Structure 1
């Protein structure tokens, strides 16, 4: 205990020893300012103004005429001012996430007060970094249609992407991907790509996919890194309202079932954002809901087992973000997100009994804050911190009918909460024949997840020693807590190398039970029809 306290005190002391300011930005505008004879101009005030928000970021050229302004990804208007010289203005400078834009400016001696506006595209090629990465910008996020609206599908467009199918992550291999949203680690490291938290496509402004050579500020992955930023409000109140619909009337017959399998999908999404205090405080909120009735089918050689399991998956996700600009050198952003996905049925196929199906429910709650201050023209510091809670349950749809929680007699309860909460119901022995399986999966029921506490400080500075050198220093502390309730083969498994007996359909008939609240959580529910089996023993499964 004493060692743990010392570690905590050392970590806190280190953070307090640093300036209590924050946020090394992922994007930078830099360049040099010269007069019309080619001479460098020190002391020039260069201001980058966000054209949508009105927020300003200020830098001053050093003795070499170089300025460096850390900014958020957006479109800016750059203004260079120095007494005795014309004011140079460069509008429409687009800065992408993770990129450094080099923009050189020229000023002339002014006889009368005048302003020179220069137009032209800012260079989008970053020659200052050797990272292998690709940006998905705001236009791509808004304009490219996606079936299912999974914004992670756009990673397929980035150079270096090694995936050929849609997924929740950039690379469907545990330990080979990492997702950061506004600098917060959002990855569920315990298990599986399908259990990762989701964000509405309408809430993500842009992202960058790094496939190699990402620096030490990223990391914690052996494969790919996605670094995304969420949208912010602007000086104009605006919003979106959209609906996306699918229906089985447009589907062809399934080539195995030889019929159209019932399916529908309705997605509703809305956003709103605007100013609280113009040019200084902005908000952005989003919410998305999906209602997806579908059917799980079975196609084994046993006709009595080939029943349909209808169910309705519901998914909701949303969040709120606040941005505060105290002055051109200090700013704060706070974000909250919530995600819930209730899947009543999964499984099906030719080698599984309906009792092998399971329900999967996924939840995530996140809160994160970022505070930034520019200490000087060469030094920026940033502190980020927050909490990320992800967990999921895997619940068998079949269970014993003789116990209140449908768990086998004498087996322990599995709770959705760590110390309390709804008991995860169901569970049966697993019966494996050659080519056919009956009963709940051996890893059900379970409740698995993690709750992470993260605090991070980044300091970026520069010095002259035979040329300019940029230095990044920082500390990133993450405390993982991984509560697990996992029933691994605790309900028993029977394995036979033989085929099922000829009268298997009579020995274990299928009984379907309407269960509108089988996977209910609070005020939401995922309606389903759960299968069961009836045995001749003393503990029927239902």
Structure 2
């Protein structure tokens, strides 16, 4: 194959140079590039290690390829370059290709951890003890061994409840059940082993939420799925962020910001100062702020983590709150939920004062139907799991838009168009005034006095407009998640969200 190329160095002491062009015939099949040397071709490689991440970029050096002739002599088709030239070449090529070869580092965590100290009854440490944490829901086990100081650590495990068991030679086995592991923090569980046979087990029932975290200055709260499901925070698919108002320092925000139910102001910061993630993945609207994807199905959420102050180093971007939603995964048991929320405004709502004043007899139609379902379970027990959720909103309604501002009535529009046929400004005003736009069948408000405006010698009647626009508020949301645990140290998972909301006529205004 033919090879060649040119690299231009910007340094004043470096000269432009070209890789030599030559032709080489390689065997049709080899197992790896390192087989080239065994096939009669010598080569070397220059490696550049990434300064961040774990990726390595291997760059083929211009002086590295030699070809052996049949007589065993080495043919070097180009002259030797100075060491400055080759170092500059490697740096330039590394700067160009390194971003494509390094793996990105996740900024936010979606896992927790366990750690503690294994001691005997006298307080002396027990080195080499075997610690096993078993996920109660999935049956997946995570193993580790205590160090010579008796310290054990099981990092980066999915949140949930765990049964933690410790075994050491010459001691009874100890087990703590129902240990709650939350997102973004380590749960500390210390053990005191009693002398005895390893077949004997001392079991302690754990559980409960840790109210005081002694190992971090970060101020955070984790809201479990049961609270999210039981509290009336997501009425008619209104969004889940209402639950954050339960925390100290959080109040309703204001401004033109996206909201998953409500805008949030944390510790006096603007509503745009919050950082939203789903499973640790960025979920921020980059135009106006707030969440980009609205999670509305409460049965989809496993944990709702909110950090309000003293963020750890992995967080950044915003100085308000960190709102991280962790989605559910499948377990060893098949489980599912089905929910239907129904509300008809004609049956449950009374007339507002404005509606009574206008002579209206009953509320305008507003029918709300919200359907939720989830299903999850094992594909291979203790190894492969799935979870699927759906959320649907059907909300046909009428938007009752009113104003006290006056606009030319239909009669006044015809008068303007007839009196000023050659005036483009008047014609434009007549064509696009409130009563001229037919959407929502605009009518004259009888509860607001009509008037007239004088244009030249022409008196044009004007009145306040009322517009009732039919809206089809529809939303379809699907979520699919899969988790694979090939070993006690490895976990592979993926999640796919899709949300479809057409929003037809959502920008309609009383003016049209």
Q: Same fold (TM over 0.5)?
A: yes
Encode CA deviations 1:262-314: one digit per residue, 9 max, x unaligned.
21110001100000000111100001100011212232345533131111110
Encode CA deviations 1:86-118: one digit per residue, 9 max, x unaligned.
111111111222232111111122247311112
Are residue 90 (structure 1) and residue 90 (structure 2) matched? no
**Deviation for aligned residue 1:347:** 5.8
**Deviation for aligned residue 1:75:** 0.6
Are residue 264 (structure 1) and residue 367 (structure 2) matched? yes
Task: Identify, as 1 or 2, the structure richer in helix.
Answer: 2
Asked if structure 1 preserves the Cα contact closer than 8 Å seen for 2:398 and 2:469, the reply is: yes
**Structure 2 CA distance, aligned partners of 1:288 and 1:279?**
28
Report what 2:329 is aligned to. 232
* 1:62 corresponds to which of 141, 147, 168: 147
**Structure 2 CA distance, aligned partners of 1:343 and 1:179?**
23
| Pairing 1:482-497 to 2, within 5 Å after superposition | none
Q: Tell me the secondary structure at the aligned position of residue 502 of structure 2.
A: strand
| Pairing 1:113-512 to 2, within 5 Å after superposition | 113-121=199-207, 124=210, 125-146=212-233, 147-149=235-237, 150-163=239-252, 167-168=259-260, 171=264, 173=270, 175-193=272-290, 196-248=293-345, 249-258=347-356, 259=360, 260-301=363-404, 303-304=443-444, 305-346=465-506, 352-353=510-511, 355=512
Q: Tell me the secondary structure at the aligned position of residue 118 of structure 1.
A: strand
**Deviation for aligned residue 1:192:** 4.9
**Structure 2 CA distance, aligned partners of 1:295 and 1:193?**
28
Q: 1:222 to 1:111 in 2, by over 3 A?
A: closer
Asked if structure 1 preserves the Cα contact closer than 8 Å seen for 2:128 and 2:146, the reply is: yes
Q: Tell me the secondary structure at the aligned position of residue 221 of structure 2.
A: strand
**Structure 2 CA distance, aligned partners of 1:126 and 1:190?**
36
**Structure 2 CA distance, aligned partners of 1:286 and 1:233?**
11
Encode CA deviations 1:213-237: one digit per residue, 9 max, x unaligned.
2123121113221111100111011
**Structure 2 CA distance, aligned partners of 1:324 and 1:262?**
48
**Structure 2 CA distance, aligned partners of 1:108 and 1:223?**
48
TM-score by length of 1: 0.59
Are residue 35 (structure 1) and residue 117 (structure 2) matched? no
**Structure 1 CA distance, aligned partners of 2:93 and 2:354?**
62
**Deviation for aligned residue 1:181:** 0.9
Q: 1:22 to 1:255 in 2, by over 3 A?
A: closer
**Deviation for aligned residue 1:342:** 2.3
**Structure 2 CA distance, aligned partners of 1:246 and 1:8?**
59
Asked if structure 1 preserves the Cα contact closer than 8 Å seen for 2:168 and 2:198, the reply is: no
**Structure 2 CA distance, aligned partners of 1:204 and 1:212?**
23
**Deviation for aligned residue 1:5:** 7.8
**Deviation for aligned residue 1:182:** 1.0
Report what 2:167 is aligned to. 81
Q: Tell me the secondary structure at the aligned position of residue 321 of structure 1.
A: strand
Q: 1:160 to 1:174 in 2, by over 3 A?
A: closer
**Deviation for aligned residue 1:57:** 1.5
TM-score by length of 2: 0.63
**Structure 2 CA distance, aligned partners of 1:108 and 1:237?**
39
Unaligned runs of 5+ in 2: 1-6, 9-90, 407-442, 445-464
**Deviation for aligned residue 1:142:** 2.1
Q: Tell me the secondary structure at the aligned position of residue 162 of structure 2.
A: strand
Encode CA deviations 1:486-519: one digit per residue, 9 max, x unaligned.
xxxxxxxxxxxxxxxxxxxxxxxxxxxxxxxxxx
Report what 1:526 is aligned to. none
**Structure 1 CA distance, aligned partners of 2:109 and 2:259?**
30
Q: 1:243 to 1:112 in 2, by over 3 A?
A: closer
Report what 2:194 is aligned to. 108
Give the alignment's Cα RMSD to 1 decimal: 2.9
**Structure 1 CA distance, aligned partners of 2:364 and 2:96?**
57
Higher CA-based Rg: 2
Asked if structure 1 preserves the Cα contact closer than 8 Å seen for 2:304 and 2:326, the reply is: yes
Larger RCO, structure (CA 8 Å, separation 6 or more): 1
**Structure 2 CA distance, aligned partners of 1:24 and 1:297?**
45
Q: Tell me the secondary structure at the aligned position of residue 251 of structure 2.
A: coil
Asked if structure 1 preserves the Cα contact closer than 8 Å seen for 2:119 and 2:192, the reply is: yes
* 2:98 corresponds to which of 4, 10, 34: 10
Q: 1:45 to 1:236 in 2, by over 3 A?
A: same
**Structure 2 CA distance, aligned partners of 1:112 and 1:69?**
22
Q: Tell me the secondary structure at the aligned position of residue 156 of structure 1.
A: helix
**Deviation for aligned residue 1:82:** 1.7
